[in-house]
Amino acid sequence: MPAALILMPVTVARSLDHALAALEECPEAIILAGGTDVMVQVNRGSMPVDQVVAIGRIPELQGWSREGDWLHLGAGVTYSEMMGEEISSMVPALAQASRTVGSPQIRNAGTIGGNLGTSSPAGDTLPTLFALEAVLTIRSSTGVRKLPINQFIVGVKQNALQPGELIEKISVPVLEGPQEFCKIGPRNAMVISVASFTLLTDVKESQVRSCLGTVGPVPIRPTEAENLLSNGVNWEKNKVSSEVLEAFASLCADAAQPIDDHRGSAAYRRHAIKILSRRAACRIFSEDNS
C-alpha cells in the first residue's frame, strides 16, 4: 500500500530552537499545540497537512512569569492553567474567559497560543487580550519581533504570523481593579460565542478598558464608550450614574459590527452587547440613582 501517500512528517519539538529549525526547513508546516482547532479541521478535511511541527512539549513555551507590572504567558499555557488561582488573581477576566471555553478536556489541551493562532472572531481570550493591549513575542530562526495584538489579528481567521514564525509568549499588564468577562451562547456551557464582552478597570489611572467579541471580524475596542465611562465614574466612591451606564451601553452597542449567521442574528448580537456591557459595568461600579 502506498504508505508515502498517507504518512506525514511530524517533528515533535523538544526545544524552541528545535521547533524553529524545523520551521525554517519547512515554513509551511502546521504548528500543532493542543490540537483542539487543528484536529477538528484535519478531521473535516479542510486543512491540508503535509508537515507538522508539534510544540506541545517545548519547555520554553510553558508556564508564566511576572516582571513588575507585566505578566508573560507562554504560548503553551492552557485554559485550565489560566483558571488557576495565580493567573486569575492577576488577570481575572482572562480566567473567566477561560472557564467559558469548551469542556474540561478542551480546557486541559487548548492553549492561549492556539487561540491566537486561529484568530477566530469567536476566540474567547481575544477580547480581554485586546483590552489589555497584549504584546506578542514572535520568533523565527532568524530573529524575534514584538507585535501588539491589534496588529497581529488583522481579519477573520487572519493574522500577521509569517511562515517560519511562531508565537513564543503573550505579555499583558497586571492592572489594579476589578474585571468582568461575559459570553453568550445558546447553551449554558461548551458553546461557541454569539457575543462576548470584557470590561477591565485600571484604578490607578482611573480608566476602564473594554472590548467586544464575536461582533465583528476582529475584537472591537469601543473607545468612545470607554472614554465616556472612564470620565463618568466617580472613582473615589466607585459609583456611576444611570445615565452614564445607559450611554455607555448604547455606545458599546453602536461600536459593534455584527453579522447574521446560523448562530445568531446581527440584531441580537448588537442587543446582547448592550445588555452585557451594562450588566458588566453594574457588577463593577455601584449604580448611583441619587
Partner 1 sequence: MSEVKTKTPISNSRIGDSAPRPDGIPKVKGTFAFSSDLWHEKMLWGGTLRSPYPAARINKLDITEALLIDGVHTVLTHSDVPGEAVYGLEHADQPVMAAEVVRYEGEPVAIVAADHPEIVRRALAAIKVEYEEMVPLTDPEIAESVGHIHPDGNVFRKINIRHGDQEIQGDIQVEGFYEVGMQDQAFLGPESGLAVPGEDGGVDLYVSTQWLHADQRQVASCLGLKEEDVRITLAGVGGAFGAREDLSLHVHLCMLAMRTNRPVKMIYSREESFHGHVHRHPAKMWYRHHADREGNLLRVEARVLLDGGAYASSSGAVIANAACFAAGPYRIPNANIEGIVVRTNNPPCGAMRGFGAVQTCMGHEAQMDKLAAVLNVDPVEIRLKNALKTGDQLLTGQIITGTAPVAEVIRTCAEHVPSYQKSSDLMSLPGGAGRTADPEHISRGEAIAVGFKNLMFSEGFDDFSSAVCHLEDGVATITCACAEVGQGFVTLAQQITREILGVEEVILAPAATETVGSAGSTSASRQTWMSGGAVQKACEEVRLKLLQRVTEEHEIGIDDLVLAEGQVLSLNGDFSISIDVATENPLEARVEYRHAPTFPLDENGQGDAHVSFAFAAHRAVVDVDPELGLVKVVELITSQDVGRLLNPVQAIGQLEGGAAQGVGLAVMEEVLVAEGNIRNASFTDYLIPTALDMPPVEVAAIIEQPEPGAPFGAKGIGEPPSISSTAAVVAAIREATNLELPRVPVRLTDIVSVEEPS
Ligand X SMILES: Cc1cc2nc3c(=O)[nH]c(=O)nc-3n(C[C@H](O)[C@H](O)[C@H](O)COP(=O)(O)OP(=O)(O)OC[C@H]3O[C@@H](n4cnc5c(N)ncnc54)[C@H](O)[C@@H]3O)c2cc1C
Give contact residues for ligand X (rule: CB under 6 A). 30-38, 40, 55, 75, 100-102, 106, 109-111, 113-115, 117-118, 123-124, 161, 166-167
Q: Which does 75 bind (CB under 5 to 8 A by kind): ligand X, partner 1, none?
A: ligand X
CB of 105 to ligand X, least distance (A): 8
Q: Please state the separation of Cα 161 from the chain's center in Å.
A: 16
Find the binder of partner 1 among 67, 68, 103, 289 (CB under 8 A): 103
Are 95 and 82 in contact by the 8 Å Cβ rule? The answer is yes
Burial class (CB in 10 A: 0-12, 13-18, 19+), 137: middle
Contact call for residue 264 and partner 1 (CB under 8 A): yes
Q: Which range touches partner 1 (CB under 8 A), out of 20-28, 133-141, 215-223, 269-277?
A: 269-277
Alpha carbons within 13 angstroms on the beta-carbon side of residue 103 total 2
CB of 199 to ligand X, least distance (A): 18
Q: Please state the separation of Cα 177 from the chain's center in Å.
A: 20
Are 116 and 152 in contact by the 8 Å Cβ rule? The answer is yes
d(CA 168, CA 136): 8
Contact call for residue 83 and partner 1 (CB under 8 A): no
CB of 130 to partner 1, least distance (A): 18
CB of 51 to ligand X, least distance (A): 12
Cα–Cα nearest to 49, from 66, 30, 33, 26: 30
- DSSP H helix total and E strand total for the chain: 12, 15
Contact call for residue 191 and partner 1 (CB under 8 A): yes
CB of 153 to partner 1, least distance (A): 21
d(CA 277, CA 212): 9
Q: Which does 229 bind (CB under 5 to 8 A by kind): ligand X, partner 1, none?
A: none
Residue numbers at the binding site for partner 1 (CB under 8 A): 1-2, 5-6, 40, 43-45, 96, 99-100, 103, 180-192, 194, 196, 262-268, 270-272, 275-276, 279, 282-283
